[in-house]
Chain A
Amino acid sequence: MRGLVFLSPWLIGFFAFTLVPIALSLYYSFCDYSLLQPPLFKGLNNYRLLAQDPVFWKVVLNTAIYALMALPLGMIVALGVAMLLNLKIRGLSIYRTIIFLPSLVPAVASAMLWLWLFNTKLGLINTALRGVGVANPPGWLTDVHWAMPALVLMSVWGIGNTVIIYLAGLQDVPRELYEAANIDGATTLRKIWHVTLPLISPVIFFNLIMGIIGTLQVFAVPYIMTSGGPARSTYFYTMYLYDNAFNYLKMGYASAMAWIQLLIVLALTALAAWSGKRWVHYQGN
């Protein structure tokens, strides 16, 4: 009893701000609900309408493409940068700070900054490209073929958090293993493949899960930079969810989208966990 009383502040908060809203959102996903009128139970109507909604499938596709591009690129670049930051060189703390700083910039501020960098006419990127002889640089955020790659490139700028986690994992790899590999005549690539990657596989696994969740929920940056354009080429799942909830006042429809998103993330996480049995090696196992 005393334990429950001690836990009660957290329990009350958990029920009031987590469990009850989650349960209500599940109920609302089966209702027509605008926030301004009481919910009207409609069964599976919202889910049926979603299945027939071409914009829903468009945002699912866009989000999947973004995740398929941003996640591997982010993880590979972050791992590469972490490996470089793991070397014993002068000024290491400065380099680590520089790499980490962009992840401290608020999303809105970085979106405004990159809006200007990607500006077709006046942006630094296109000015630099013209300077090296590219006569017709991409339209970036105004071009349906380049808007998505632009957002993916921008996502790489904020890899600081991922790098720090990889760095912690790399520093945990016992030196003796590298020494043993050296003695056996292993090249750098072989050392990475046979020593580094297996030993940091739990860290890779963690970053993979966090990356899946993060990329599938991308919202703030594209909402500010492109508002989903041009022609819905950068219209992502969470943006459509937000528009349904707060612009169109279709909370029930948005709740249904939220639950579908949860199921997708859970499914992908479960898939990653299942595949992890083959390639994730925990020390001590």
Chain B
Amino acid sequence: MSSFGTGILSGTKHLVVAALVASGLGLLVFGPRAGDKLPKNCVIVDYWEKWTGDEETGMRQIVDDFNSTVGNEKHIYVRYLSTSAIEQKTLVSIAAGVPPDVAGLYNQNIPQFSALDSLEPLDDLAAEHGITAKTYKKVFWDECHYDSHLYGLVSTAFDLALYYNKEIFRRCAPELESRGLDPQHAPRTIAELDAYAKALDRIDPSGQIVLAGYLPTEPGWFINYTCIWFGGSWWNGARQKFTFTDPGVVRAYQWIQSYSRRLGPKAVAEFQSGFGTIDSPQNPFLAPTVAMVQQGTFFAHLINHLKPSMDGQWGAAPFPSYDPKLRDVTYCNCDVLVIPRGAKHKSEAFEFIAFVNRQDEMEKLANYHCKISPLAKVSEGFLAHHNNPYIRVFDNLAASPNAHPTELVPILPEVNDELINFIQRLQLQQVTPEEGLRQVQTRLQQKYDQFMEDQRERRR
């Protein structure tokens, strides 16, 4: 190579090295810094939570409230960390012996984690803080227990109702009235819901669904609990037996299958493939391509945020039941704060959990998340100024004796997956509800019995 070429190469090399050094220095000087400046002489409580976006903002506000009040007095500082895959990370951290002091899990994790001895029971700590069954709506107190012990307390809670599009009802008033249905009200029984759905369905000449009155699988997140509106239950906790062949459960799945049979499995699949996600304006209720959906309290926030033009054009009512005498049935779900086994600062962690469960803080957080309060006492101000205009409907449902919690089964992830597969087979008309439920019953009972036998063997 010529001396000129060598010179250029050497110059380029020096330039690259200089650029790298400058970038490194720049990062050191101007680059990102560690988050919280931790206060001295405080117990640091590590709190891992799944939330991001607006939900994270809400919870961070509560954390700040704690740190500036109770935390300040008692020298406790809560360090919030937002993390994805919260269940797997909590699991691995517990196994490794380095768990956070507080983890924000889902209520369905309580039976699974506590059956495997990975959560601290909170009965004594709760009693010390005056937290009892009377503090909560019964359904949420039940959600936090497994095997008669308290393993978590609620952070946010919601329940389910029927959201309906009043504008579509008005537009289709003649069809509804011709079938003896009231366009001013939501359906009050399952039979009425089916009648409304049929009246509102719009199919184009090629057989494609343009508008669906209702689809049990949209969104289908809570479809595993459909049986409660049919007076059934698939779990008998007292006998520790699955009851998938319960007549109410069979009726529920017959009803679910009837929709895909009526509309056609391929047509339904194609129709649903065009839906956007829940948090997009192409959400089928917002688009609108579905007139009625079963959803949680928080759904109002998405309507207000993504389609404010729908203000006043939608309503929420108790989801109808099969038997008209079965009233105010709902499924309740919540996020929970737990103390993992091996946490270093249990009593300090519980100070924070108890703080979140104070009425004022709980209502503040519930407002941020557009959810209900799980507490027995709810202030009039919370109900009057809530972002969900139908909050009283949801609150009354959660306080109803027919409010249903998540089933406390330690193999719940397997139950959920089996039921998802079963529902897909139902939709595709591959199996009858009776036969499919018998298969699910046999398989899951075997798994549950094996799990319990292994646990008994450990305790011998």
Residues of A within 8 A of B (CB): 32, 34-37, 40, 42, 49, 54, 119-122, 139, 142-144, 228-232, 243, 246-249
From known contacts A35-B95, A40-B454, A247-B417, infer whether A231 and B424 are also in contact, taking CB-CB under 8 Å: yes
Which residue of the partner chain B has the closest CB to A121? B274
Query: Which are the 6 A-B pairs with shortest beta-carbon distances?
Result: A121-B274, A142-B269, A120-B273, A36-B116, A36-B118, A231-B424
A36 partner, pick from B95, B414, B427, B450, beta carbons under 8 A: B95
Contacts of A122 in B (CB 8 A): 273-274
Which residue of the partner chain B has the closest CB to A230? B424
Q: Determine the distance from Cα of A34 to Cα of B411 in the docked complex, in whole angstroms.
A: 12
Known A36-B95, A247-B414, A249-B91; 19 more pairs at CB < 8 Å: A35-B91, A35-B92, A36-B117, A36-B341, A37-B117, A37-B458, A119-B274, A121-B270, A121-B273, A139-B270, A139-B273, A142-B269, A143-B266, A144-B428, A229-B420, A229-B424, A231-B425, A247-B413, A248-B411
Q: Determine the distance from Cα of A53 to Cα of B118 in the docked complex, in whole angstroms.
A: 28
Q: Determine the distance from Cα of A230 to Cα of B426 in the docked complex, in whole angstroms.
A: 11
Q: Determine the distance from Cα of A32 to Cα of B115 in the docked complex, in whole angstroms.
A: 14
A119 partner, pick from B273, B411, B414, beta carbons under 8 A: B273
Contact A231 B458 (CB under 8 A): no
- Determine whether B314 belongs to the interface, using a CB cutoff of 8 Å to chain A: no
Interface SS of B by simple majority: helix
Give the most central of A36, A119, A143, A243: most B CB within 10 Å: A36
- Determine whether B400 belongs to the interface, using a CB cutoff of 8 Å to chain A: no
Enumerate B394-430 residues with CB–CB distance to A below 8 Å.
Answer: 411, 413-414, 417, 420-421, 424-425, 427-428, 430
Which residue of the partner chain B has the closest CB to A33? B454
Q: Determine the distance from Cα of A35 to Cα of B341 in the docked complex, in whole angstroms.
A: 13
A40 partner, pick from B95, B413, B443, B458, beta carbons under 8 A: B458
Contact A248 B413 (CB under 8 A): yes
Contact A36 B458 (CB under 8 A): no
Contacts of A249 in B (CB 8 A): 91, 112, 116
Contacts of B118 in A (CB 8 A): 36
Contacts of A243 in B (CB 8 A): 413, 417
- Determine whether B88 belongs to the interface, using a CB cutoff of 8 Å to chain A: yes
Q: Determine the distance from Cα of A139 to Cα of B268 in the docked complex, in whole angstroms.
A: 11
From known contacts A139-B270, A248-B413, infer whether A34 and B428 are also in contact, taking CB-CB under 8 Å: no
From known contacts A34-B116, A230-B424, infer whether A120 and B450 are also in contact, taking CB-CB under 8 Å: no
Interface size on B, as a range, is: 20 to 34
Contact B269 A231 (CB under 8 A): no
Give the most central of A122, A143, A231, A246: most B CB within 10 Å: A231
B91 partner, pick from A36, A143, A231, beta carbons under 8 A: A36
Give the most central of A121, A122, A230, A249: most B CB within 10 Å: A249
A232 partner, pick from B116, B414, B421, beta carbons under 8 A: B421
Q: Determine the distance from Cα of A231 to Cα of B421 in the docked complex, in whole angstroms.
A: 5
CB proximity of A245 to chain B, nearest CB, Å: 10
Q: Determine the distance from Cα of A36 to Cα of B454 in the docked complex, in whole angstroms.
A: 14
Contacts of B413 in A (CB 8 A): 243, 247-248
Enumerate B79-126 residues with CB–CB distance to A below 8 Å.
Answer: 88, 91-92, 94-95, 112-113, 116-118
Q: Determine the distance from Cα of A249 to Cα of B413 in the docked complex, in whole angstroms.
A: 9
Contact B91 A139 (CB under 8 A): no
Q: Determine the distance from Cα of A81 to Cα of B200 in the docked complex, in whole angstroms.
A: 53
Contact B457 A40 (CB under 8 A): yes
Interface 1/0s, chain B 259-275, versus A by CB < 8 A?
00000001001111110
Q: Determine the distance from Cα of A130 to Cα of B113 in the docked complex, in whole angstroms.
A: 50
Q: Determine the distance from Cα of A247 to Cα of B274 in the docked complex, in whole angstroms.
A: 29
From known contacts A40-B458, A49-B450, A248-B413, infer whether A143 and B269 are also in contact, taking CB-CB under 8 Å: yes
CB proximity of A221 to chain B, nearest CB, Å: 18
Q: Determine the distance from Cα of A49 to Cα of B414 in the docked complex, in whole angstroms.
A: 15
Q: Determine the distance from Cα of A246 to Cα of B414 in the docked complex, in whole angstroms.
A: 11
Give the most central of B116, B118, B270, B428: most A CB within 10 Å: B270
Q: Determine the distance from Cα of A49 to Cα of B417 in the docked complex, in whole angstroms.
A: 18
Contacts of A49 in B (CB 8 A): 450
Q: Determine the distance from Cα of A220 to Cα of B458 in the docked complex, in whole angstroms.
A: 35
Which residue of the partner chain A has the closest CB to B271? A121
Which residue of the partner chain B has the closest CB to A227? B420
Enumerate B166-186 residues with CB–CB distance to A below 8 Å.
Answer: none
Which residue of the partner chain B has the closest CB to A35? B95
Contacts of A120 in B (CB 8 A): 269-270, 273-274
CB proximity of A282 to chain B, nearest CB, Å: 40
Interface 1/0s, chain B 50-86, versus A by CB < 8 A?
0000000000000000000000000000000000000
Which residue of the partner chain A has the closest CB to B112? A249
Contact A32 B273 (CB under 8 A): no
Contacts of B450 in A (CB 8 A): 49
CB proximity of A198 to chain B, nearest CB, Å: 44
CB proximity of A273 to chain B, nearest CB, Å: 38
Contacts of A36 in B (CB 8 A): 91, 94-95, 113, 116-118, 341
Which residue of the partner chain A has the closest CB to B116? A36
Which residue of the partner chain A has the closest CB to B95? A35
Interface 1/0s, chain B 145-175, versus A by CB < 8 A?
0000000000000000000000000000000
CB proximity of A21 to chain B, nearest CB, Å: 14
Contacts of A37 in B (CB 8 A): 116-117, 458
Contact B95 A248 (CB under 8 A): no
CB proximity of B427 to chain A, nearest CB, Å: 8
CB proximity of B298 to chain A, nearest CB, Å: 23
CB proximity of B119 to chain A, nearest CB, Å: 10
Q: Determine the distance from Cα of A142 to Cα of B113 in the docked complex, in whole angstroms.
A: 34
Q: Determine the distance from Cα of A2 to Cα of B273 in the docked complex, in whole angstroms.
A: 64
Which residue of the partner chain A has the closest CB to B273? A120
CB proximity of A137 to chain B, nearest CB, Å: 9
Q: Determine the distance from Cα of A246 to Cα of B112 in the docked complex, in whole angstroms.
A: 12
CB proximity of B282 to chain A, nearest CB, Å: 10
Contact A246 B88 (CB under 8 A): yes
Contacts of A139 in B (CB 8 A): 266, 269-270, 273
Give the most central of B116, B271, B443, B454: most A CB within 10 Å: B454
Contacts of A231 in B (CB 8 A): 421, 424-425, 428, 430
CB proximity of A179 to chain B, nearest CB, Å: 38
